[in-house]
Amino acid sequence: MSGNDTAILAFKIITIVTTIFMRISLLPDFQRMRKMKSTGDMSVLPCVLLYANCYLLCWYSYAVDNIIPLFLTAALGVICGAIFSVFFYRWTAHKRDVMRVFVISGVIMLLETIYGLTALLGWTGQSRSSTGTTLGVLVIISSVGLYASPMATIRHVIQTKTSSSMPFTMGVVNVINSLCWVVYAILVGDVFILVPNASGALLGSIQLILTCIYPRKAPSDGQIISAVINDPRAGSLQSSCVEQALLSVVINSPAQESRENRKSGAGDSANFVALRSPVG
């Protein structure tokens, strides 16, 4: 085995490992969503583009006969992206908008399926090599969209001065994984793997820079949120005015909650509620 073959084998293994981490890199963000029962400011695009891009990669890798590592890691991406998308839909408050994105991605994947089948069966008059080239161009476009998806809220990040809408772990793993694929692409001479991953490394680095400039903000101890609610008892026919009740909510960290539990609650108002912060 030559030195080049050894290097290719080594980077096949490395890319498989780093890509597995890339596929599950949204887990910390989804763990946070599970605790909060909300998707917060995060966009659904990273989830959708993960399975949509990997689905296209499955067709490309089959066309160019790159089963390991490309087809294997792409199939894993389809599964992970689909699972993440289901849970995102469960916790999001914008189900109609998310469903619209799902439908659009489904239509695109259907078109990819039709083209992939007809081309590989020879009905388009293309050779297998030509089909691989066409799919490769589509992979570049789709992959750049995947890597740029966390940047979709860049204006929101700059306006709010917080990167909470950007999946941080995904950004870190993305840079490492993309660089590994760049080296592998150079070794095997595949420009359709090289270009999107070079773009991914660049866009991922920009995301990390923004995360450092605008770090996530956690609720501060004792942060008070007040809300005015209608008192349902004010709906009697004898009353001509609508009474209102003021509800004060204090968000406590676990440490502060422990301190508060040791204090007497005799002085608390009936309209006072202390909540534990989901962060920390």
133-182: per-residue pLDDT in tens? 999 999 888 887 777 666 666 777 777 788 777 777 888 888 999 999 99
218 in a structural domain? no
Mean pLDDT of the chain: 79
Structural element, H or E, at residue 275: strand 272-276
Mean pLDDT value across residues 103-117: 94
Structure-block tokens of residue 61: 């890798």
Q: How far is CA 90 from the centre of its chain?
A: 15
- The 10 Å Cβ neighbour count of residue 156 is 15
50 in a structural domain? yes
Mean pLDDT value across residues 238-264: 45
Same domain, 167 and 76: yes
| The total number of structural domains that make up the chain | 2
Structure-block tokens of residue 141: 């476009």
Count of alpha carbons within 13 angstroms of residue 175, beta-carbon side: 13
Please indicate whether residue 257 or residue 51 has the higher confidence score (pLDDT).
51
pLDDT in tens, 147-160: 766 666 677 777 77
Same domain, 138 and 59: yes
Q: Give the contacts of 258 (CB within 8 A, at least 6 positions apart).
A: none
Q: Which residue has the tokens 């509800």?
A: 247
Query: 72-91 and 45-63 helices cross at what angle (nearest 10)?
Result: 160
Q: Is the pTM of this model over 0.75?
A: no
**pLDDT of 186 over the 90 cut:** yes
17 in a structural domain? yes
| Whole-number pLDDT of residue 46 | 84
Q: Give the contacts of 53 (CB within 8 A, at least 6 positions apart).
A: 77, 139, 142, 143, 145, 146
Q: Which of 213, 235, 260 is the last residue of a domain?
A: 213
Which pLDDT band, with edges at 50, 70 and 90, does 59 fall under? very high
Domain span at 160: 3-213
Please indicate whether residue 153 or residue 194 has the higher confidence score (pLDDT).
194
Which pLDDT band, with edges at 50, 70 and 90, does 227 fall under? very low
Look at residues 5, 28, 40, 10 and name the one whose alpha carbon lies nearest to residue 218: 40
Identify the weakest region by mean pLDDT among 38-42, 87-91, 176-180.
38-42
| Whole-number pLDDT of residue 149 | 65
